[in-house]
Amino acid sequence: MKKIIIIYGIIAGLVIVVPITLSIQYGNGSIWFGYLIIFIAFSAIYVATRQYRDHYLGGIIDFKIALQVGLGITAVAGVLYTLVWEVYLAFTDFRFIEDYAQAIIANARNSSASEAEIAATKQQVEAFKTQYRNPLIRLPQTLIEILPPGIIVSLFSAAVLRNHRSIKASK
């Protein structure tokens, strides 16, 4: 099980990291694009769980075991994502957070916000930037970004694949 988790976790992590990093680097990334990529990458959970069921368990897998495979892949991909994000931040001298802060302030200015609201937004952004410099806050926050889709796909895959009658085992 560990081999499958590590291999598919790395595959999922790379499928997430490469397009998201490129989209951020070239300025056309969005949160929806990011989560779409994450869900596509986590299709590896279904494939890996099915492969483990068919090749190692004789075509039958327990929900708990299937969930463990999915959550393991999620964890490996999440750690890879977090590590690459840290490297990206280091190489860009935290440029992302500065760009993000400027975008939030620009949105406040472009909305019908009053000067007091804009000042409050600036204050919140500065507090966020200070917090984000702390790795004890940033690392778990980065990891948590990727966990919900991984948990959802893991639960779905475990539920579908546990019933050997739902999708026949390949031989």
pLDDT in tens, 120-157: 999 999 999 999 999 999 999 999 999 999 999 999 99
| pTM of the predicted model as reported, rounded to 2 decimal places | 0.86
* pLDDT at position 25: 75
* pLDDT at position 164: 60
In a domain, 117, yes or no: yes
Average pLDDT for 20-36: 81
Whether 88 and 35 share a structural domain: yes
In a domain, 167, yes or no: no
Whether 65 and 46 share a structural domain: yes
76 touches 6 (CB < 8 A): yes
* pLDDT at position 144: 95
Question: Does position 109 have pLDDT exceeding 70, yes or no?
Answer: yes
Question: Does position 169 have pLDDT exceeding 70, yes or no?
Answer: no
In a domain, 170, yes or no: no
In a domain, 156, yes or no: yes
What is the spatial distance between Cα 74 and Cα 41, in angstroms, rounded to a whole number? 10
Tally of domains in the chain: 2
What is the spatial distance between Cα 121 and Cα 104, in angstroms, rounded to a whole number? 8
Whether 123 and 74 share a structural domain: no
* pLDDT at position 29: 67
Whether 68 and 27 share a structural domain: yes
Whether 67 and 47 share a structural domain: yes
In a domain, 32, yes or no: yes
Average pLDDT for 105-118: 87
In a domain, 99, yes or no: yes
Point out the least confidently predicted range of 98-102, 114-118, 165-169: 165-169
Question: Does position 166 have pLDDT exceeding 70, yes or no?
Answer: no
Please report, to the nearest 10 degrees, the dihedral formed by the alpha carbons of residues 39, 142, 9, 165 taken in order.
-40
Confidence of residue 34 (pLDDT cuts 50, 70, 90): confident
Whether 119 and 71 share a structural domain: no
pLDDT tens digits for range 16-27: 999 988 887 777
Whether 55 and 99 share a structural domain: no
What is the spatial distance between Cα 57 and Cα 121, in angstroms, rounded to a whole number? 55
Question: Does position 171 have pLDDT exceeding 60, yes or no?
Answer: no
Whether 120 and 86 share a structural domain: no
In a domain, 169, yes or no: no
Whether 88 and 149 share a structural domain: yes
Question: Does position 114 have pLDDT exceeding 90, yes or no?
Answer: no
Whether 62 and 122 share a structural domain: no
Domain extent, residue 50, equals: 2-92+145-161
The conformation of residue 1, written as its DSSP 8-state character, comes to -
In a domain, 72, yes or no: yes
* pLDDT at position 112: 82
Whether 34 and 114 share a structural domain: no
